[in-house]
Structure 1
Amino acid sequence: MNIDEPLSTTELDDTVERWRKSKIDRRHSLIDDILSIVRSHGHDPGLDVIVDELGVSKTLLRRNFTDSADLADATLSRYMSVEIEPRIRSALSPRSTGHTLIRAVTEAYVDVFSHDLPAYLYVTAHSAASGGELIADADYRIARLLTAALGTSLGPQKVCTEGTTPMAFAILGTVRLCVHWWTTQELVTADELVDCVTTMLGGGIRGMTPPLKSVEPHIIT
């Protein structure tokens, strides 16, 4: 092929796709390195510390992120997709009951908050206005996982499956807020928190389970 010949549409598409993937991979690599720095230096290391630790210039960051808001949002999105969602997904099991499901989700969030708190505080504190939308989007994806798991768990108990979606959001919201409070107060142990949340939400699920029908005694005539 003559190097002076113009690229075909297919070749152009392949080139653009490779460039796009390379840029995404580069952004992800930078974000992962930034999160490592945050874990070492605390949740607010400052841009100068980040640049020094990365060994790159601010110009390079600007080539990969349009501004500080883009960097913050990209970091938040990356963190939700690689740290929080996989923990929740792995915690769910087709054999989970309502009780074990709630305990698994609560323990997954406790694990995130207690073992990776600097990174979580960094991504939530530095996200721009769209950060709320990114968290809401991640919540929606996690709630869909919970809805499916609840449907599998509660279906045999003849619980109205239409109620599993609001139940999933209720579980997720309660767990996240309770665990977030716990990280700032720590008035109870992690195990006590998990037990408390599991008991409270498990009671709500049991309240939606239809009671066993009483059997009238059969009188032999």
Structure 2
Amino acid sequence: MTKVSRPPGPVREQGAAPDGRSVRWERHREERRASLVDATIRAIRRHGATVGMDDIAAEAGTSKTVIYRHFEDRAGLYRAVAQRVEARVVGGIARALEQSTGVGKDPRELISSTVNAYLELVESDSELYRFVVNRPIVDRPLTDDPVGELVSHVTDQLTHLLEGRLGGSDGRPFDPATTRVWAVALVGSVQAVGDDWLAAPARPGRPTRGELVQSLTDLAWSGLAPSLSDRESRSTAR
């Protein structure tokens, strides 16, 4: 009878849980990746949105080779930073919406809170926002769009809230397709206005974040018709 030889060491059955060493190693890798993302964000805040990989490596106290070992390439590091920013934006909007959807809260406040939460990041962490939007360290076309994914997640979040809070005069909710269009329009306009506002130099007459929130909320809530009607009325009265 032929004796079947077995490889040395313990044999793990298929489907068995991974051993402690592999779990610890994976946890270490995740922690190291998180620390490198932290260092990248610090470097962005220190050197600006056009930060280079040498600056990032110096901030992390390591080499570019080590960074690429954890993220494969520059695009991988960029995606990790974009995901961190997405979590911050989505989390901030979720908290704002949660505060604005209590009993007796005005649905208009829901829109104002959403606009403010997005613009707050643009204003408070402008270099990090520019980094994510402009992708300075990415040296080749991406197959995905982290910024588009962020906008999509925020849109989904707002669509869900609008469906639950807004309704027609008969008390029935609006058609889901309609609320989706409104959410896309609101998020898109806030993103575009925020980009333009960030690009404008700080000069007298430049609107504050509060004024920008007010203008965008008025536009989203009332539309253009009331403003145009008021202007036409004043023009006729002259």
Give the TM interval when normalised to the shorter protein.
0.7 to 0.9
Deviation for aligned residue 1:44: 1.8
Map of 1:177 onto structure 2 = 192
Q: Which moved more, 1:37-46 or 1:154-163?
A: 154-163
Task: Give the alignment's Cα RMSD to 1 decimal.
Answer: 2.7
Which of these residues, 3, 8, 15, is aligned with residue 13 of structure 2? 8
Alignment length, in residue pairs? 204
Give me the whole-angstrom Cα distance separating, in 2, the residues matched to 1:29 and 1:205.
Answer: 47
Map of 1:89 onto structure 2 = 94
Q: Is the 8 A contact 1:73 1:130 kept in 2?
A: no
Give me the whole-angstrom Cα distance separating, in 2, the residues matched to 1:30 and 1:23.
Answer: 11
Map of 2:234 onto structure 1 = none
Gaps of 5+ in 2: 1-7, 227-238
Give me the whole-angstrom Cα distance separating, in 2, the residues matched to 1:28 and 1:80.
Answer: 15
Give me the whole-angstrom Cα distance separating, in 1, the residues matched to 2:122 and 2:218.
Answer: 20
Map of 1:189 onto structure 2 = 208
Give me the whole-angstrom Cα distance separating, in 2, the residues matched to 1:90 and 1:183.
Answer: 24
CA displacement, residues 75-109 of structure 1 (integer Å, 9 cap, x when unaligned): 2122212x211111111033354311111011111
TM-score, normalised with respect to structure 1: 0.81
Q: Percent identity?
A: 26
1:131/1:79 CA distance change after superposition, 3 Å: farther
Which of these residues, 141, 145, 161, is aligned with residue 153 of structure 2? 141
Deviation for aligned residue 1:8: 3.5
Which gives a bigger RCO, structure 1 or 2 (Cα 8 Å, sep 6+)? 1
TM-score, normalised with respect to structure 2: 0.75
Q: Which moved more, 1:88-97 or 1:13-22?
A: 13-22
Give me the whole-angstrom Cα distance separating, in 1, the residues matched to 2:213 and 2:84.
Answer: 26
Could you tell me which amino acid in structure 2 is paired with residue 137 of structure 1?
Answer: E
Deviation for aligned residue 1:115: 0.4
Give me the whole-angstrom Cα distance separating, in 2, the residues matched to 1:27 and 1:206.
Answer: 51
Name the structure with the higher helix share.
1
Deviation for aligned residue 1:148: 1.6
Q: Is the 8 A contact 1:98 1:205 kept in 2?
A: no
Map of 1:211 onto structure 2 = none
CA displacement, residues 3-49 of structure 1 (integer Å, 9 cap, x when unaligned): 82223331447765554444333222211221022112222221112
Give me the whole-angstrom Cα distance separating, in 2, the residues matched to 1:37 and 1:139.
Answer: 25
